[in-house]
Amino acid sequence: MKCWFCDKEARGVCAACGRGVCHDHAHIHDAMTLAKSDTSTGYTSYYNVLRSLKCTDCHLHWVHHKPDGTVEE
């Protein structure tokens, strides 16, 4: 697989978008948490990915859903 940005050999894949990235275009994310909620039970399941790769184009941010239905970004 080739790097999405420069066509060198990819060393990994961005955990956020799935693009192939070479050593120069990959950044190591300390931790990435992926969550899903089950509206029928009210439970939320999640897992943490430590030291995942992220490409130079992806900008990740937190979105908070409050119990009253409002959303903060």
How many separate domains does the chain show? 1
- Assigned domain for 62 exists: yes
Q: In which domain, by residue range, is 17 found?
A: 12-72
Q: Does 32 map to a domain?
A: yes
Q: In sequence order, what are the residues at sequence separation of 6 or more whose Cβ sits closer than 8 angstroms to the Cβ of residue 21?
A: 3, 4, 5, 10, 11, 12, 13, 14, 53, 55, 56
Residue 25 lies in a domain: yes
User: What pLDDT tens digit does each residue of the chain (73 aa) get?
Assistant: 999 999 999 999 999 899 999 999 999 988 888 888 888 887 888 888 889 999 989 887 777 777 777 777 6
Q: Is residue 41 part of a domain?
A: yes
**Which residue, among 1, 52, 32, 49, has the nearest Cα to 11 in the 3D structure?**
1
Identify the pLDDT of residue 37: 82
